Amino acid sequence: MNSEVLLNKIMVYDNICLYAHQFPDPDALGSQFGLKQFISDNFPGKKVYALGKNNDSLNGTIFPLRDEVNEDIIKNSLVIVLDTANISRIDDELFQLGKEIIKIDHHPEVDEYGQFNIVETDKCATSYIVADIIRKSTYLLSKDCAKFLLIGIIGDTGRFLHNNTTSEVFAMASFLMSKGVVLADVYDELYKRTINEAKLVGYILNNFKVINNKLAYYILEVNDYQQFNICFEKAKDYVNTLANIDGIEIWVSIVYSQATGFYHVSIRSKSIPINDVAAAMGGGGHALASGVKATSLARVQIILDSLQSKLE
């Protein structure tokens, strides 16, 4: 049903604009460029654009650079927004100009901003949802398309490590690899680290704090990551440096961005749902992986206190 509506809408429009969330991760970009590749492969007459700001470490390396369009094109387009639960996180707000809007996402529903919403919260990644729609259709799934979608699934399952890695996920990964994608090549590119990035990991491991032997966190001020020549977009991606520590139930990264003026807080949990804490402070996400922005260290402390109270 979902696939029929999506494919019918794609057939109707000559111009299609694809959006994702701010600070795009491999699933945001994987679902966006996967869908773009699918449309280009199967509907060569159509113009399809992957929009939003580039992620310096992912665009121009493992993913292509983003496209640019003028507003007139967006006004005549089908807009598809990927991997984004709420309107305020969509990069950028011009998406609203689209003639029709479709949302495809796997986060718990926050805003039903599409005329048509494909929201499957039991799926590991938005890239999985896109791949599933294509798999069930009779259309071509090229090697490039399969690669982008597989990167998205790898990203959101933490290389098939998180508890969203089901047998269906492996079946999908197998299906995508059967299109010719070499996993080792993807990993080499996706998990390549610079010497400075390795040093930042060292800094985090030397400086993280532990509360009651159950909650671990670290704070990175601008100088802490800039001393290693690392930009904010990259610096905020290290929360799982604190994963898999014996006894630690919840782990948190807190990274300040000069550009936004916020501490960006990423919360991860082994088994206790923490998205209510993020939501109470204006953020959101999955039960065991959420994010929230805080205006000050005092607000950060409130978040840490709320998380700590869950562990008592």
* Interface ranges with Mn ion (CB under 5 A): 27, 83, 125-126, 156
Nearest-CB residue for Mn ion: 27
CB distance 268 to 162 below 8 Å:
no
- For the CA atoms of 246, 311, 253, 258, the dihedral, rounded to the nearest 10 degrees, stands at -170
For 32-95, give the secondary structure using H, E and C: HHHHHHHHHHHCCCCEEEECCCCCCCCECCCECCCCCCCHHHHHCEEEEEECCCCHHHEECHHH
Q: What is the DSSP string of 87-145?
A: GGGEE-GGGGGSSEEEEEE-SPPS---SSEEEE-TTSS-HHHHHHHHHHTSSS---HHH
Least separation in angstroms between residue 9's CB and Mn ion is 22
Q: Which is nearer to Mn ion, 88 or 296 (CB)?
A: 88
Least separation in angstroms between residue 160's CB and Mn ion is 15
Least separation in angstroms between residue 213's CB and Mn ion is 31
CB distance 116 to 102 below 8 Å:
yes
CB distance 130 to 81 below 8 Å:
no
The CA distance from 197 to 191, in Å, is: 11
Q: Which is nearer to Mn ion, 83 or 132 (CB)?
A: 83
Q: Which is nearer to Mn ion, 98 or 152 (CB)?
A: 152
Least separation in angstroms between residue 81's CB and Mn ion is 12
Q: Which is nearer to Mn ion, 204 or 278 (CB)?
A: 278
Q: Which is nearer to Mn ion, 69 or 111 (CB)?
A: 111
Q: Which is nearer to Mn ion, 220 or 292 (CB)?
A: 292
Least separation in angstroms between residue 105's CB and Mn ion is 8
Q: Which is nearer to Mn ion, 83 or 197 (CB)?
A: 83
- Is 209 buried (19+), middle (13-18) or exposed (0-12) by CB count in 10 A? exposed
Least separation in angstroms between residue 133's CB and Mn ion is 16
Least separation in angstroms between residue 40's CB and Mn ion is 22
Q: Quick check: helix, strand or coil at residue 258?
A: coil
